[in-house]
Amino acid sequence: MKWQQRVVVLILAAVPALSGYPLTAAAGEILPGLTWGWGAYFVAVHLLLALTTPSRLYGNILAASALITLPVVFGGAALSGLMHLTGVGRPGGPQAYSPHYLALLTSMLTVIPLGLALVASIPFQILEQQVLTGENGISRAEKNLLMVLRVFNHIVHDVIPATLEVVREEWPRAPGAGQARRRPSPAGLIRMMTWLGIAVICCAVQYIPLWAVEIARLPERRPRRLQGREQPLQHLKPPEKHPGRGTAACHRLRK
C-alpha cells in the first residue's frame, strides 16, 4: 500500500474517534466503562493497523502506546484509590472511578496507536524533497507546507533529541557519574519540568523567523497560463537519480 493510501485510510479510521459517531450509538456496556462501540472500534483499529503497517512498526507502535498509556491509567487509578482510602476521594469509591479508568484505557490504547501510525506513515523528508523539485516554482500552499514540515522535523529530530541528551547528562542514572547523587525533591522535579518545557518551546520556535525568510526566498510558482510560454527552469531541475549516488565508490568514480 502506498503511503498516501495508508494516510487516507488511517484518517478515515480516525473519524469515529474525532466525531463520536457511531461509537455513541452502541452505548451498551460489555463491562462498566467499556461500551460495545469502543470495544468494536478498538478491535477494528488494531486489525486495520496490523494489516496496513509493517509488523516491526506495529510492534513498536504497540510498545510506545503501552508505555504512554499504562502509567497514566494505572497511576491515576492508584491515586484515586489512595484518595479513597484517606477519605478525600469520590464518595462512591472504586465503583465510581473504575469505569472512568477502563474507558480511558480503551480509548488511549485505540487512539494513540492510530495517531502514531498516522505520523509514522508520512515520509516528511520525501515530501520536503518533492516540493523542492517543482520546475515552475513553489506555490504559497507549498511554502506553508515547507514551514510546517520544518517546524515538525526540527522538533522531532533536533529539539527533543538534544533536550534528551541534556537531561541524560544532567541526571545521570549510572553509578559513578557522581558520588553525591540525591533524589530530586517533588518541588525540584516540578521546577525542572517547567524549565524543560520552556526550553523545548523556545528551542522549537526561536528560528521560525529565519526559516520564514529562507522559505520566502524560494521563487513563486508562475501562473499556469505562463508556464507553457517560457522556458522551464531546466537548471533548477535536480539531476536524475544515480544508483550509486552518495557512496564512496561513486565518489571515486566521478573524480
Partner 1 sequence: MTLGAQALGPETDRTPDLRKHTRYFATYEAREAAVAARTAALVPRKHAGPRVFWEDFGRIRGSDLSARADSRQVVIGSNPRECLAFGTPRQVLTAARLGLGQNQEPGDAPDVETAARRFEIFDTLDQPLRTLSGGETLKLCCAKAFMAASEVSRLTIASPFCCLSRASTGLLADLVGHCERRAIPVELLALEGEDSRAAMDPAGLPSALRPTSLPFALRLAGVRISLGTVLNALTTRPAVAGVDDFSARLRSPCLLVGENGQGKSLIARVLARAVAYQGTTSLDRGRGPESGRLLFQDVLNQTLLRPFPAMAASSEQPERTLALFDRIGQLCQQYLSARGRALPAGAFQSNAPFRSLLETKALLAAARLCGAPGALILDEPDWGLARETAIALVAAITRVAHEATIAVILISHKPWWPTFCPSVVAVSRTRGNPRAQTAEAFRVHLCRQTEARP
Instruction: Measure CA of the first residue to CA of the last residue in the chain; give whole Å.
Output: 40
Shortest Å distance, C-beta 189 to partner 1: 11
Shortest Å distance, C-beta 253 to partner 1: 12
**Residue 134 has which C-alpha cell?**
517543482
Does 190 bind partner 1 (CB under 8 A)? Our answer is: no
How many residues line the site for partner 1 (CB under 8 A)?
A: 85
Separation of alpha carbons 184 and 74, rounded Å? 23
Map the footprint of partner 1 across residues 83-142, applying CB under 8 A.
Answer: 116, 119-120, 124-125, 128-129, 132-133, 137-138, 140
Does 228 bind partner 1 (CB under 8 A)? Our answer is: no
Does 4 bind partner 1 (CB under 8 A)? Our answer is: no
Which H helix or E strand runs over 136?
A: none
Shortest Å distance, C-beta 106 to partner 1: 22
**Is the peptide bond preceding residue 123 cis, with omega within 30 degrees of 0?**
no
Other C-beta atoms lying within 10 Å of the C-beta of residue 11: 13
Map the footprint of partner 1 across residues 26-45, applying CB under 8 A.
Answer: none
Map the footprint of partner 1 across residues 55-84, applying CB under 8 A.
Answer: 56-57, 60-61, 64
Separation of alpha carbons 106 and 52, rounded Å? 21
Asked if 200 and 99 touch (Cβ cutoff 8 Å), the reply is no
Which H helix or E strand runs over 179?
A: none
Distances in Å between the alpha carbon of 182 and those of 86, 125, 171, 173, 188?
29, 42, 10, 11, 11
Shortest Å distance, C-beta 66 to partner 1: 14
Shortest Å distance, C-beta 76 to partner 1: 24
**Residue 11 has which C-alpha cell?**
484518517
Closer residue to partner 1 in complex, CB, 2/195: 195
Residue type for position 139 = S
Closer residue to partner 1 in complex, CB, 79/162: 162
Closer residue to partner 1 in complex, CB, 34/151: 151
Does 52 bind partner 1 (CB under 8 A)? Our answer is: no
